[in-house]
Each structure stands twice: as C-alpha cells, then as structure tokens.
Amino acid sequence: MRVDRCGRLLAAFGIASCLAGLPLEAAANSAATSQRQLTRQAGTNAGLQCVPFARQVSGIDITGNAHTWWRQAEGRYQRGNTPEPGAVLVFRATGGMRLGHVSVVSRVLSPRHILVDHANWQGPGLPKGRVARDVSVIDVSADNSWTLVRVEIHGDRDGFGRQYPTFGFVLPRTVDGSPLPPLAPISTARAVLDERAARAAAAPARYQGRAAALADIVTAELGELPQQSARPGLIGSAIGAAVARPLPQQPDRVEADYAVGRAGAVAAETTPAPIRVAQFTPREPLIDDDIAVFAAPDRSLR
C-alpha cells in the first residue's frame, strides 16, 4: 500500500512538473490549432450553426445562443406573432434542444403554414450543420399565435416532427420601423463564421423542402386554410381570426394553393440572396473568448 501510494504521488508530481513548464506554449498551440480549424471550416458548410446563417440571411444583427434572440431583440427590433418573409422564428430552449434554434421565413403559404430557411437541423440521412431551404413549418398553437410549431422532417422521410415551443418572430426592421443597417463587425472569429454563412447562403441547399408533397399531411393536421393575402407575406386579421376554428377539408383546393406557392418559391430561388458580410480588418491573434463564444461546436446546435 505504501509503495502504491508513493508511486501515485511521484506520478502526480512528475505530471505537474511537466505541465508547469508548458502553459504559454500550450496556450499558443491551442490558439494556433483553433485558428487552423476555423480557417478549414470557412470553406465548407460542414458544422454550420443556425445562428450565423440566420444572421446573414435575415440581416438581423444578433449573436449568441438562439433562444436568447427574443430577449436580445427587445428595444432593437420589432417582434410579433405573425410571420412575414425575412422574419426570424425563435425557438425556445427545450430538453432536446437546450440552446434553442432560429429559422428565417422565406414564404408565407397560409396563416398556419410557412416555409423557412435554416441551418443545423438534423434529419434522417441529413447530418447536423447543413443548410435546408423552403422547409415547411406549421403552427399548431390553439390561438394561431405561432408559439407552438411542428417542423418538416428533413431527409428521406415525409411528415412533421414533434411539437416545439417558440417565442414568435423577430421582424426584419428596427423597433422604430427603419430598414436594417449593415451587419456590424465583431471579431476575427465572427468574421470567419460570417464568411462561411455567406457562402452557405449563396450555395445550393443540402435539403430542399417538399411543401407540395406534404399537402395531405398539412390538411389532415389543420384542415383547409385560407389562401395567403395578395401581398406576399401579409395576412389579414379576418383570415387570422377565421383559422382559429376548424375548417372543412378540401384537399384539391389546398394542393392548388401549394402548387402556386411552390412555383413562387422556385422562381425566388433563381434570384441570388443578398450576402451580408461585415467588412473590417480583423485583429490578431484570436483570443480565447472569441473562440469560446462564437466557434464552440456545441453552440446553437439546432
């Protein structure tokens, strides 16, 4: 027993002695490794998180974990419970999605059905970190407030996943109604993620939503919904009130509406999305706080 105890003490003392002489070198190596990893990731969509993608596509200048967007938007951007193109749907943190999620509305098909673009939503055969476009999201809240939703299953299966609670929409304008200003520069790490997100926004998506194929499922979930307003993305208050009560199912009408909506979405795909990248001279080297806040792989995973 005494020999074993002495051996453990000597081993611990030896390890401590070795570590004591290397803190600066180890820190330098760690920073250099993180810089190389960020540089490699800048050229690929692998591992792209939802926050930098939503920030680039929407132009809403918020960072940090996805579920904090609703609170951070207070006093800076308009918020609401009616979807419109360019708005960001903010998901609450849950046990299975502890950092929340953000998705950008690309089209409003009905008072309870929208299409979104987002990154890092996993599905069957679709790994995390990929971009998905025109994904169906349906509102299943009792009062059509968009505070409880279901999201189209990504990958090789049709249908919708479980229910997710949300806060609502951060709208693409400042709190006083002014247009969004350019994205502000923050740090070298943020510049790397901004560039990656900009490339992803301009590149073909890894997954393309199937709104038309899901028409029967949406009808079964919600009943027939009124057609969207003549002005894209705007829904009248009368329509919003009407959807609160069950409506008769008419699959042919719904399929026709989805065909029209899908044709518009396909046409929109031919127009390149604006790329919003903050231009500035990055400071060197990266500091640990930048890496921890903006480049940690477990940040805003969905």
Q: Report pLDDT for 216.
A: 94
Inter-residue contact 149 to 164 (CB < 8 Å): yes
pLDDT in tens, 256-283: 444 444 444 444 444 444 556 655 444 4
pLDDT of residue 211: 95
pLDDT at site 146? 98
CA 233 to chain CA centroid, Å, is 19
107-118 mean pLDDT: 97
pLDDT band at 226 (very low <50, low <70, confident <90, very high): low
Q: For residue 185, is the peptide bond before it cis, meaning its omega torsion is within 30 degrees of 0?
A: no
Highest mean pLDDT among 41-45, 212-216, 285-289: 212-216
What is the tens place of the pLDDT at every residue in 31-53?
A: 444 444 444 444 344 579 999 99
If one counts every other C-beta atom within 10 angstroms of the C-beta of residue 205, the result is 19
- Put residue 181 in one of left, alpha, beta given phi > 0 → left and psi -120 to 50 → alpha: beta
Going by pLDDT thresholds of 50, 70 and 90, the confidence category of residue 105 is very high
Q: How far apart are CA 115 and CA 107, in angstroms?
A: 5
| Mean pLDDT for the stretch of residues 139-166 | 96
185 or 119: which leads in pLDDT:
119
Domain ranges of the chain: 48-210+274-295
Banded model confidence at residue 185, pLDDT cuts 50, 70, 90 = confident
Burial of residue 185, with CB atoms counted within 10 A of its CB: 0-12 exposed, 13-18 middle, 19 or more buried = middle
288 against 208, higher pLDDT: 208
Determine contact, residues 204/133, Cβ cutoff 8 Å. Answer: no
Superfamily the domain 48-210+274-295 falls into: endopeptidase domain like (from Nostoc punctiforme) (3.90.1720.10)
Is the full-model pTM beyond 0.85? Answer: no
Higher pLDDT, 138 or 45: 138
